[in-house]
């Protein structure tokens, strides 16, 4: 029996030694190092990650290099065109991605009043004003609004506890959703379409590609620029500007064989707006979003027979924040409603 006890003691001592060694390896590593690395890993860009963290790019670069020095291995492969994770970087990111949100929740719960972080992308629906007021009255907690130009509005990075998403939510996103309302779509057309042959195509957000507008496309854009109303089916014959990150309209919404050509892509709403204004093609957006964002180079046209945009509340399917659960239940009770489409015409609609 003494032999068994000695063995157990030795095992416990070895475990303590391993734990001490692991903790010693953390010396010098701070939360800012981990958040910086995770942001770059998800954005695949130091520029976009720095914008998300609201710090300068040189400071973020120093932060990530410091982390690599502290862990003793390269985590990112950098080129002049893109950033990729190394094998070590992928392993570290896989561990940190779920860990950081839980750490943030633990720290928030132990300090100060309860706060729910409500994420969104280009515009928070007006219906959320009443929902937020009801939530605060029912729980005594506050709500912090978090805008993020990412597909899940900061939920995937732990910056939001619950989010408002427009369009269809991927089934493999690991989320629970409920539909809040539906919003009508409008078309955004350039007041001065780009001439035929101009460089408009491309897959890199904010960049033009090699292919230009054909004579027919340029003529079609000039024709619709003078219209007041378009039919959804008519857009199939026009070059389409697509927000591939936070947008809700892509060619896949049209029937196969009658889909519009993707002329240009954008990584956020502002890029999308400028691409349409530059004459690269037409765009489609929810009417409340269009009403909020005017542009001197764009007219918004009513769309007939266009499918409405579903607006969802979404939270993690597992380990959601308790306050997020409460907000979700209140949202589910609200139920789907019509959007703001019965209000005044979108800005820029008149010639």
User: What does the pLDDT read at residue 350?
Assistant: 39
Closest CA to 260 of 244, 280, 240, 276: 240
Rounded Cα gap, residues 243 and 221, in angstroms: 19
User: Which of 215, 176, 186 has the alpha carbon at shortest distance from 198?
Assistant: 215
Give residue 9's pLDDT: 46
The residues near 232 (Cβ < 8 Å, ≥ 6 apart) are: 185, 254, 303, 304, 305, 306, 307
Q: Is 306 left (phi over 0), alpha (psi -120 to 50) or beta?
A: beta
**Mean pLDDT in order along the chain per 10 residues (351 residues):** 50 49 64 89 87 84 91 87 89 86 68 84 92 93 93 89 94 91 96 64 41 78 90 95 94 94 91 93 95 93 97 92 94 69 43 35
């Amino acid at each position: 029996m003494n032999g068994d006890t000695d063995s157990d003691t030795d095992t416990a001592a070895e475990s303590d030694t391993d734990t001490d060694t692991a903790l010693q390896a953390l010396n010098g590593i701070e939360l800012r190092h981990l958040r910086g690395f995770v942001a770059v890993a998800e954005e695949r860009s130091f520029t976009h990650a720095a914008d998300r963290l609201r710090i300068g790019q040189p400071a973020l670069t120093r932060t990530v290099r410091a982390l690599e020095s502290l862990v003793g291995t390269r985590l990112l492969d950098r080129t002049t065109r893109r950033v990729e994770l190394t094998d070590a970087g992928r392993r570290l990111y896989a561990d940190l991605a779920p860990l950081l949100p839980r750490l943030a929740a633990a720290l928030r719960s132990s300090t100060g009043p309860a706060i729910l972080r409500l994420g969104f992308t280009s515009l928070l629906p007006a219906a959320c004003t009443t929902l937020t007021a009801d939530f605060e009255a029912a729980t005594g907690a506050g709500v912090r609004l978090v805008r993020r130009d990412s597909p899940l509005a900061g939920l995937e990075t732990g910056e939001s506890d619950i989010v408002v998403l427009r369009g269809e939510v991927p089934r493999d996103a690991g989320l629970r959703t409920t539909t809040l309302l539906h919003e009508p779509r409008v078309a955004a057309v350039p007041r001065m379409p780009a001439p035929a042959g101009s460089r408009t195509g491309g897959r890199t957000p904010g960049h033009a590609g090699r292919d230009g507008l054909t004579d027919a496309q340029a003529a079609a854009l000039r024709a619709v620029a003078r219209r007041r109303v378009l039919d959804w089916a008519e857009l199939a014959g026009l070059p389409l500007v697509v927000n591939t990150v936070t947008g809700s309209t892509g060619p896949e919404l049209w029937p196969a064989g009658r889909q519009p050509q993707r002329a240009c892509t954008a990584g956020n709403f502002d890029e999308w707006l400028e691409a349409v204004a530059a004459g690269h093609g037409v765009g489609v957006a929810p009417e409340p979003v269009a009403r909020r964002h005017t542009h001197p180079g764009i007219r918004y046209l009513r769309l007939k027979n266009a499918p409405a945009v579903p607006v969802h509340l979404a939270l993690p399917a597992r380990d959601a924040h308790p306050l997020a659960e409460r907000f979700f239940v209140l949202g589910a009770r609200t139920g789907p409603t019509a959007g703001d489409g019965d209000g005044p015409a979108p800005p820029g609609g008149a010639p």
